[in-house]
């Protein structure tokens, strides 16, 4: 019976000391932010690494409207307009799932548990090595199967249009089992990816994209593929780089109304797919939907907790800080502790800022509530006329002109 169940599932899935903890955080930041020369092997830390680590440590993953983008749940998605995710585990009984958990847990497939800033990853898939990308920190490049496949698909599209394109650098996705990954607020459930822009021949990991070094054609081809060929929830790009990419897209004939739906820069339309967040001029942050992995987690969550395969995922109240409020006052208001709020938000001090959104842990005497069902919205596709007018120019026809 076990082999039959495995086949069914696979067919459906296409207390250290404070100083030691601080040392570990510093090591992770350095590893995630080192400079890598094209063709180099293991990354080596240096002055550029320290500067990049400092920049990344202060990345807040809040868009310019003050809305938090680190929670992995987008309340603007209309369930009626989207597609409810389905998992092969839906056809299985709890007894069948428990049997697989006991005898062959890998057969259940990857699961993205909870929110991206308070979640876990079960049966994660490590991003493979490739001649098309460089893994900056392979130990923290674990994601869902859908995340890995979507990233590969978008990069492959760039190489289809521009054969011989240089490597991209892939930074953090998630730890093998998900959970808190310093210095990020998110990256906890296998659906977030930090990746470089396509830059010039002197490209290094965590190098700032500018008008002088950004390869607009390849970077736009990559971003366009993410939007049109994958289930992407959001993309974080600094507004200065958004401007360069949007100008290039208009120049090659993309539909202006569609670009206003996609880019936050230069648009008044609400909740653009590509949003500004400080700290994202030197890398792109992508968050994918993983419908199967997310829905499998919803189905199996109580059993995963019951067997100790994962810890109960945290539940948060989102609080917009007001002038004069402190962590102490928030802790008293919500019945939690200052340290718990600091951990939930990756804070190193007790200072908070007015108008910033903070995660406040919700006290609970029992197991946390299971993850919510996921609804994947329709992809934001350009109108047919724009798709025809902006047929990508093949490398053989005209090579990319760096700098537009």
Q: What is the reported pLDDT for 368? A: 52
Mark whether 205 and 115 lie in a shared domain: yes
216 closest CA partner among 55, 380, 389, 393: 393
State whether 281 and 318 are in the same domain: no
What integer pLDDT is reported at residue 239 of this predicted model? 97
Which H, E and C letters describe 348-361, residue by residue?
CCCCCCCCCEEEEE
Same-domain check for residues 268 and 153: yes
Query: Is 42 within a domain?
Result: yes
Q: Are residues 174 and 248 in the same domain?
A: yes
The lowest-confidence range among 185-189, 247-251, 383-387, 400-404 is: 400-404
Judge if 108 and 146 occupy the same domain.
Answer: yes
Task: Based on the fold, state whether residues 266 and 339 are members of the same structural domain.
Answer: no
CATH at 357:
3.10.350.10
Query: Is the residue at 101 inside a domain?
Result: yes
Q: Are residues 248 and 138 in the same domain?
A: yes
Instruction: Transcribe 61-121 into DSSP letters.
Output: -BBTTS-B--SS--TT--TTTSEE---GGGGS-HHHHHHHHHH-GGGG--EEES-TTS-EE
Residue 19 inside a domain? The answer is no
Cα–Cα distance for residue pair 289/20, rounded to 1 Å: 35
Evaluate whether residue 254 is within a structural domain: yes
Model confidence over 258-268: pLDDT tens digits?
A: 999 999 999 98
Lowest mean pLDDT among 53-62, 136-145, 331-340: 53-62
Q: How many residues does the chain have?
A: 404
Q: Are residues 118 and 222 in the same domain?
A: yes
Instruction: Tell me the mean pLDDT in the region 383-402.
Output: 50
Q: Has residue 165 got a pLDDT over 60?
A: yes
More confident residue, 125 or 47: 125
Is residue 98 domain-resident? yes
Confidence of residue 110 (pLDDT cuts 50, 70, 90): very high
Do residues 214 and 354 both lie within one domain? no
Q: What CATH number is given to the structural domain containing 146?
A: 3.30.1380.10
Quote the pLDDT of residue 335: 87
In a domain, 7, yes or no: no
Q: CA distances (Å), 161 to each of 41, 137, 243, 314, in order?
A: 27, 28, 23, 43
Q: Residue 303's closest CA among 143, 119, 105?
A: 105
Indicate whether 336 belongs to any domain. Answer: yes
Please check whether residues 208 and 65 belong to one and the same domain.
yes
Q: Where on the phi/psi map is residue 322: left (φ > 0), alpha (ψ -120 to 50), or beta?
A: beta
- Are 359 and 270 contained in the same domain? no
Residue 60 has pLDDT above 60, yes or no: no
Count of structural domains within the chain: 2
**Same domain assignment for residues 345 and 198:** no
Tell me the three state secondary structure of residue 320: strand
Q: Would you state the pLDDT for residue 202?
A: 81
Domain that holds residue 232: 28-81+93-293
Percent of the chain scoring above 70 in pLDDT: 72
Predicted structure pTM score: 0.74
H helix and E strand count, the chain: 12, 14
Residue-wise pLDDT tens digits, 215-225: 999 999 999 99
Q: Considering only 39-53, 122-136, 265-279, 331-345, which range has the smallest mean pLDDT?
A: 39-53
Q: What is the rounded CA–CA span in Å between residue 178 and residue 187?
A: 7
Question: In terms of pLDDT, which residue wins out, 28 or 306?
Answer: 306
Quick check: 52 and 206 in contact, CB under 8 A? yes
The answer as to whether 288 is a domain residue is yes
């Amino acid at each position: 019976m076990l082999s039959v169940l495995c086949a069914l599932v696979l067919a459906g899935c296409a207390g250290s000391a404070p100083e030691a903890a601080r040392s570990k955080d510093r090591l992770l930041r350095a590893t995630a932010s080192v400079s890598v020369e094209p063709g180099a092997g293991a990354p080596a830390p240096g002055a550029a690494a320290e500067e990049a680590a400092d920049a990344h440590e202060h990345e807040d993953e809040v868009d310019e409207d003050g809305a938090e983008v680190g929670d992995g749940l987008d309340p603007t998605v209309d369930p009626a307009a989207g597609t409810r995710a389905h998992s092969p585990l839906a056809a299985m009984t709890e007894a069948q799932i428990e049997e697989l958990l006991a005898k062959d847990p890998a057969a259940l497939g990857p699961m993205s548990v909870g929110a991206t800033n308070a979640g876990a990853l079960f049966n994660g898939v490590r991003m493979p090595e490739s001649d098309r990308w460089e893994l900056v920190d392979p130990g923290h490049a674990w994601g869902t199967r859908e995340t890995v496949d979507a990233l590969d698909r978008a990069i492959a599209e760039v190489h289809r249009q521009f054969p011989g394109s240089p490597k991209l650098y892939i930074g953090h996705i998630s730890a093998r089992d998900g959970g808190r990954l310093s210095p990020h607020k998110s990256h906890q459930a296998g659906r977030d990816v930090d990746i470089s822009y396509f830059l010039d021949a002197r490209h290094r990991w965590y190098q700032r994209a500018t008008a002088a070094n950004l390869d607009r054609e390849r970077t736009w081809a990559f971003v366009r593929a993410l939007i049109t060929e994958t289930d992407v929830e959001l993309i974080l790009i600094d507004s200065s780089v958004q401007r360069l990419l949007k100008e290039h897209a208009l120049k090659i004939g993309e539909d202006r109304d569609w670009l206003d739906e996609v880019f936050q820069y230069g648009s008044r339309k609400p909740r653009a797919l590509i949003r500004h967040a400080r700290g994202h001029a030197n890398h792109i942050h992508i968050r994918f939907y993983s419908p199967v992995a997310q829905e499998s987690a919803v189905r199996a969550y109580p059993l995963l907790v019951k067997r100790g395969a994962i810890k109960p995922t945290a539940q948060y109240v989102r609080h917009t800080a007001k002038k004069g409020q402190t962590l102490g006052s928030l802790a008293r208001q919500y019945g939690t502790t200052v340290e718990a709020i600091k951990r939930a938000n990756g804070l190193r001090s007790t200072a908070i800022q007015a108008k910033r959104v903070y995660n406040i842990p919700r006290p609970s005497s029992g197991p946390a509530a299971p993850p919510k069902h996921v609804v994947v919205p329709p992809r934001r596709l350009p109108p047919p006329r724009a798709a025809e007018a902006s047929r990508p120019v093949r490398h053989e026809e005209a090579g990319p002109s760096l700098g537009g």
